[in-house]
Structure 1
Amino acid sequence: MGKRKKSSRKPAPSRRKDPLETNFTCLFCHHDKSVSVRINRKEGVAQLLCKVCDQRYQSKANHLTEPIDIYSEWIDAADAAEKEASTSTRRTVASSSRAPRAPSVDSDD
């Protein structure tokens, strides 16, 4: 067996992997880079915390979970909670805001 000839092709440039963001804008206080995400893969827990308004969110995590995933889950959970609150408020208002009965036209009052 002989030696292989070296290829005349240039080696592909190494792709540098830019790290993903771990600090985000808060949904509630709107401060930039105030929300940080920490993932404990060993325990399977991810925590999100706003340093300004102290909003917190906790979720399950696995070996594929990234901080942006937790931030997206937080946004979805906040939207769902807001939608649920507005739906329950509408029901309460609609049921309690019935107009009083109009007086009868035939009445002599």
Structure 2
Amino acid sequence: MGKRKKSSRKPSAPRKKETLETNFTCLFCHHDKSVSVRINRKEGVAQLLCKVCDQRYQSKANHLTEPIDIYSEWIDAADAAEKEASSSRRPVASSSRPRAPSIGSDDE
């Protein structure tokens, strides 16, 4: 008994590594590919900048951080800031009962 013969296959070419985007759409001015992300891994800082409306965001970065991570953090931070601003603008709570007519009013 002998060994089984394997079919001769050509070695497959190495897969191309897909690069992730570094330019995104701005949340404030809605221009496509106007937001660029730069990561300085030596200093551990990532910067996001919109070329049109000059919006900026800065965050900490590590060796695993990718530009999409910084963009996602910016979206979350903008949502949190908007939520905080809307909660501070809420009017003072009032009762649901109608106001009692003041004495001496000529409404009746």
Q: What's the TM-score, normalizing by structure 2?
A: 0.78
> Is 2-11 or 62-71 further displaced after alignment?
2-11
Percent identity of paired positions between Structure 1 and Structure 2: 91
Distance 1:76 1:85 in 2: 14
Distance 1:9 1:19 in 2: 29
- Deviation string 1:8-60 (CA, Å, 9 cap, x unpaired) is 44323311012110000000000000000000000000000000000000000
> Is 6-15 or 59-68 further displaced after alignment?
6-15
Q: Quote the residue 1:54 is aligned against.
A: 54
> In the superposition, relative to structure 1, how do residues 40 and 2 fare at CA in structure 2: closer, same or farther (>3 Å)?
farther
Helix, strand or coil at the partner of 2:20: coil
User: How far does residue 104 in structure 1 lie from its aligned partner after superposition?
Assistant: 6.7
Q: Number of aligned pairs?
A: 107
Higher helix fraction (1 or 2): 1
- Deviation string 1:34-93 (CA, Å, 9 cap, x unpaired) is 00000000000000000000000000000010000000000000011111111x335444
Distance 2:39 2:2 in 1: 51
Q: Quote the residue 1:103 is aligned against.
A: 101
List gaps (5 residues or longer) in structure 2: none
